[in-house]
Amino acid sequence: MSEATPPARNPDRRTFMARCAGLGLSGTLLPGVLWARVAEGADITPETVAAAAEIAGVEFDEAERKMMVDTLKQQEQQIEDLHKVALPNAVPPAVTFDPVLPGTRLPEGKSEVVTTPAPAVVVPEKLDELAFLPVTTLAELVRKRRVTSVQLTRMYLDRLRRYDSTLKAVVTLTEDRALRQAAERDAELARGRYRGPLHGIPWGAKDLLAVRGYPTTWGAAPYRTQSFDEDATVVKRLDEAGAVLVAKLSLGSLAQGDVWFGGTTKNPWKTDQGSSGSSAGPGSATAAGLVAFAVGSETLGSISSPSTRNGVTGLRPTFGRVPRTGAMALSWTMDKLGPMARSVEDVALVLAAIQGPDGVDPSTPHAVPFRFDARVRPSALRIGYFRNAFERDEKDYPNKPFDLATLEVLRRQGANLVPVDLPTFAYGAMRLVLTAEAAAAFDELTRSGRDAELTEQGPNAWPNTFRTARFIPAVDYINANRARTLAMRGWAELFRNVDVVVTPTSGTQLVATNLTGHPAVILPNGFRADGTPVSITFLGGLFEEGKLLAVANAYQRATDFHLKHPTLPG
């Protein structure tokens, strides 16, 4: 992937250090082993070592500090030399994270997806009435040539134009590409070639996925004119599956929140509310019937949260299941791409199309089959639930009635729900991994000063996070990953005893499973008094998406929350 010309670097390290001081950072702080006195032109001395050691929480005697000075000067030169190396966002670290522990047996055999027969649908005079149908139903209409891909594509493009002034979910329409693809899919079908259930189905891509010929903005003003000369792997695979890309959808700046340089993406159920993020556009557009499905990404809740807020079904696959080639990197050891759609069966169909190694992304070394069978009943699987999470007091857990009702639906379907405990580890401390990697991914943005161009500038926004992350000791970043290994072992033990775990969507599990790489599916399980949706989450073992989707599908078929959709003005 070739990247647009990056912002100019500032080769003068002392100028950058002075800028740090100007941002209000302590006079004794500097990234890594360097301190603010050096920024003022002073040399590295035993006194500056003492000041930095105090901040780092370590203590050295005078002789040790003197001994350190020459080595620290060498490290300063190494860091200056490192900053002269061009490191586009697409370049991964040489160290690759694998959530699969040694000795783990992964599923074998062939991939297979079995869905339920689609219901008969009368094609309405107004095609808009098809906008909220699931992919499984649209696919049959296309396959039987009762509606064309061009008709669906024009219908969704019209809806994207009509409602985006309210929702702000679209960064770029890919109209020319979409209409060309749709015409090709109809011509193929006329010749007898059918690519499968995504043939001719319009979809939207979170705008951190590269698409040749269109900007890929990452939702951030410094990159709003950026473009790449090839398609992301998931875009290529969906092209091959016959899907039609109609839009690049919004994300909060650099994959955080729902605020981007074009505004705040809105929740179609309550348009004075943001759609949550960072897969803000995919969540909003899917819920509003502007696309049949979308592809989002999650590092620490970016599929889960907007799926909940917008009432769609989101799948966060196992880390390493879907290649991220051509996607913006935020955290090389935590980023995951996954589908957002209107049903469990829909996300299963999309995952089947985009999963598997591509020979480029080093985080996808395992060629593991994906098997999903919509006929599997909950009674056929070992299902656990986090007892303590469901037993919390309702004043601290407002979704409790909805979640307890979900457990009752599963019991009525024959599930034998086993109480289990969420493995206890220092997950909060491990979040240093994400902070450090994100700061590294956007190191140049910070050093160049162009972080000031990002829309949000508060204490919890990326500019401040990137700056403060520069003070995380390398030793502690590594130890956070070692602690992560302990957590992975704990979760591996949990999934030796159960196939699927039902859990409230929010809480510790969200941080924990993003760190351990376990898959999750999030789907609506009710509506509040104000008409906004709430959700439940199903977790599974590594590369066992088929099992958690089977349980989630059974629950979804017994309820109708996923069939409801918002009423939009106009």
Asked if residue 450 belongs to a domain, the reply is no
User: What is d(CA 400, CA 214) in angstroms, rounded to the nearest whole number?
Assistant: 44
Asked if residue 205 belongs to a domain, the reply is yes
Asked if residue 297 belongs to a domain, the reply is yes
Q: Please, which pLDDT band fits residue 41 given cuts at 50, 70 and 90? A: low
Asked if residue 549 belongs to a domain, the reply is yes
Residue 319: CATH number of its domain: 3.90.1300.10
Mean pLDDT, residues 56-76: 87
Q: What values do phi and psi take at 318, rounded to 5?
A: -55, 140
Residue 541 has pLDDT above 90, yes or no: yes
User: What is d(CA 174, CA 248) in angstroms, rounded to the nearest whole number?
Assistant: 7
Mean pLDDT estimate for the chain? 92
- Minimum mean pLDDT range among 24-28, 154-158, 258-262, 483-487: 24-28
| 311 and 406 both lie in a single domain | yes
| 148 and 266 both lie in a single domain | yes
The pLDDT value given to residue 42: 60
**Residue 426, Cβ neighbours under 10 Å: how many?**
12
| 77 and 126 both lie in a single domain | no
Look at the block and give the residue holding tokens 């410094």: 222
Contact 89, 70 (CB under 8 A): no
Give the type of residue at 13: R
Could you tell me what percent of the chain has a pLDDT over 70? 92
| 554 and 489 both lie in a single domain | yes
Query: Tens digits of per-residue pLDDT, 269-304?
Result: 999 999 999 999 999 999 999 999 999 999 999 999
| 12 and 124 both lie in a single domain | no
Asked if residue 406 belongs to a domain, the reply is yes
Mean pLDDT, residues 461-487: 93
Mean pLDDT, residues 358-363: 97
| 200 and 298 both lie in a single domain | yes
Mean pLDDT, residues 21-37: 40
The pLDDT value given to residue 54: 79
Cβ-proximal residues to 469 (8 Å cutoff; 6+ apart), any chain: 435, 436, 438, 439
Asked if residue 385 belongs to a domain, the reply is yes
Q: What is the crossing angle of helices 62-82 and 13-22, to 10°?
A: 110
| 259 and 376 both lie in a single domain | yes
Contact 386, 562 (CB under 8 A): no
Mean pLDDT, residues 160-187: 98
The pLDDT value given to residue 39: 45
Asked if residue 448 belongs to a domain, the reply is no
Of 23, 51, 86, the one marking the end of a domain is 86
The pLDDT value given to residue 534: 98
Bond into 278 cis (ω within 30): yes
Of 49, 68, 86, the one marking the end of a domain is 86
| 492 and 398 both lie in a single domain | yes
Give the type of residue at 205: A
Of 42, 69, 86, the one marking the end of a domain is 86
| 8 and 133 both lie in a single domain | no
**DSSP letter, residue 205:** E
**Cα 481 off chain centre by:** 20
| 46 and 149 both lie in a single domain | no
Query: Tens digits of per-residue pLDDT, 228-267?
Result: 999 999 999 999 999 999 999 999 999 999 999 999 999 9
Host domain of residue 36: 1-86
* 341: β partners: 313
| 180 and 322 both lie in a single domain | yes
Q: How many domains does the chain have?
A: 2
Asked if residue 1 belongs to a domain, the reply is yes
The pLDDT value given to residue 471: 84
| 242 and 339 both lie in a single domain | yes
